[in-house]
C-alpha cells in the first residue's frame, strides 16, 4: 500500500497540489484523470521522490523509492546508450540478475542499437521493459499508452492485469478513457490540484458520460463550419 497524506506542492506562487490524501492498496489499479495542468504528473513525481512537497508519503515496504517503478510520459535516454545497456543500468541498480535478456524482450526491440535511433513507440516500450524487469512492488505509469501501436497496447493492458494479479499497486494516468475502464478498480478525478471525486468501477460509465458532456460544452462550431 502507498499512503499519501495532506500532500501540497507549489512552484513559486502557483499551488499545483493542494492537500491531497489517499490510500492506494495492494493488488489494485488506480486511474488518475484530469485536464492538462490538473497536477497528475506532479503528484506522480512527488510519490516517486523527484519533487519536494509538504505532507507525508509512506508505504508498507519502505523505502518506497527502492520498490517503485516509474514510467514517465516521455522517457529520457542518454545519447550513446543501447537498449540493452539501458535495461542493465536499471536492473543492476536493484541488483536484479537474469539469465537471458533475449527471452524477456517481448516487444522484440533491437536492443543492440542506440536508443537514439528508436521510434517514440520503441522508446516507451524499452522504458516499460526495464521498469518491469526491476521487479518492483509499486508502479506509476504516466500516459503509458501514448505513442504505442495497437498490438503493444493490448500487451500493455494484459501486463497491467497481470501485475494486479500478482499483488502489485499500480497508479496510471491516461487520456484514453477506455484503457482506464478496462484496467482500473478506482479512478481519481483531479481538478486544480485537488481530488474532486473518487469513482468506483461500477460508476465508470457515468464518469465517462460526465467527462464527455464537459468536453462537448466547448464550441467546436468555432473551428468547423458547415
Cell of 70: 516509474
As to burial, measured by CB atoms within 10 angstroms (0-12 exposed, 13-18 middle, 19+ buried), residue 203 is middle
Report the relative pairing of strands 2-11 and 14-24 from DSSP bridges: antiparallel
**What is the rounded distance in angstroms from the CA atom of residue 135 to the CA atom of residue 68?**
9
Give the mean pLDDT of the chain.
Answer: 93
Would you state the pLDDT for residue 131? Answer: 96
Share of the chain above pLDDT 90, in %: 85
Would you state the pLDDT for residue 225? Answer: 67
Distance of CA 36 to the CA centre of its chain: 15
Would you state the pLDDT for residue 98? Answer: 83
**What is the rounded distance in angstroms from the CA atom of residue 181 to the CA atom of residue 179?**
5
Would you state the pLDDT for residue 69? Answer: 97
Tell me the pLDDT band of 226, cut-offs 50, 70 and 90: low
Give tens-digit pLDDT for 59-112: 999 999 999 999 999 999 998 999 999 999 999 999 998 888 999 999 999 999
Would you state the pLDDT for residue 219? Answer: 66
**What is the rounded distance in angstroms from the CA atom of residue 15 to the CA atom of residue 54?**
12
In the numeric block, the cell 485536464 is attached to 35
- Which residue segments constitute the domains of the chain, with CATH numbers given? 2-67+137-222 (3.40.50.300)
Instruction: Find the radius of gyration of the CA atoms of the chain.
Output: 18
Taking Cα atoms as reference points, which of 154, 151, 150, 103 lies closest to residue 129? Answer: 103
Question: Per 3-state DSSP, what percentage of the chain is helix, strand, and coil (rounded to 5)?
Answer: 40, 25, 35
What is the average per-residue pLDDT within 4-16?
A: 96
Taking Cα atoms as reference points, which of 141, 132, 138, 71 lies closest to residue 96? Answer: 132
Give tens-digit pLDDT for 177-187: 889 999 999 99
As to burial, measured by CB atoms within 10 angstroms (0-12 exposed, 13-18 middle, 19+ buried), residue 114 is middle
Beta bridge partners of 71: 141
User: pTM to 2 decimals?
Assistant: 0.92
Would you state the pLDDT for residue 218? Answer: 66
- Which of residues 193 and 218 earns the better pLDDT score? 193
207: pLDDT strictly greater than 70: yes
Alpha helices in 25-111 (DSSP H): 40-47, 83-93, 101-104
As to burial, measured by CB atoms within 10 angstroms (0-12 exposed, 13-18 middle, 19+ buried), residue 70 is buried
Give tens-digit pLDDT for 114-160: 999 999 999 999 999 999 999 999 999 999 999 899 999 999 999 99
37: pLDDT strictly greater than 90: no
Would you state the pLDDT for residue 153? Answer: 93
- Which of residues 115 and 222 earns the better pLDDT score? 115
Amino acid at each position: 500500500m502507498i499512503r499519501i497524506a495532506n500532500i501540497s506542492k507549489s512552484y513559486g506562487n502557483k499551488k499545483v497540489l493542494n492537500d491531497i490524501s489517499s490510500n492506494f492498496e495492494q493488488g489494485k489499479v488506480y486511474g488518475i484523470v484530469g485536464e492538462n495542468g490538473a497536477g497528475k504528473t506532479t503528484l506522480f513525481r512527488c510519490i516517486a521522490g523527484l519533487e519536494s512537497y509538504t505532507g507525508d508519503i509512506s508505504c508498507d515496504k519502505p523505502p518506497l523509492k527502492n520498490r517503485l517503478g516509474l514510467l514517465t510520459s516521455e522517457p529520457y535516454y542518454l545519447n550513446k546508450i543501447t537498449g540493452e545497456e539501458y535495461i542493465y543500468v536499471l536492473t543492476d541498480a536493484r541488483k536484479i540478475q537474469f539469465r537471458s535478456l533475449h527471452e524477456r524482450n517481448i516487444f522484440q526491440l533491437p536492443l543492440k542499437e542506440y536508443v537514439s535511433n528508436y521510434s517514440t513507440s520503441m522508446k516507451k516500450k524499452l522504458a516499460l521493459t526495464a521498469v518491469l524487469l526491476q521487479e518492483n512492488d509499486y508502479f506509476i505509469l504516466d500516459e503509458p499508452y501514448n505513442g504505442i501501436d495497437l498490438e503493444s497496447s493490448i500487451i500493455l493492458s494484459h501486463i497491467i492485469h497481470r501485475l494486479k494479479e500478482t499483488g502489485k499497486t499500480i497508479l496510471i494516468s491516461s487520456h484514453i478513457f477506455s484503457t482506464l475502464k478496462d484496467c482500473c478498480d478506482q479512478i481519481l478525478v483531479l481538478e486544480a490540484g485537488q481530488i474532486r471525486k473518487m469513482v468506483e468501477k461500477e460508476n465508470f460509465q457515468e464518469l465517462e458520460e460526465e467527462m464527455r458532456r464537459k468536453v462537448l460544452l466547448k464550441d467546436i462550431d468555432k473551428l468547423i463550419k458547415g
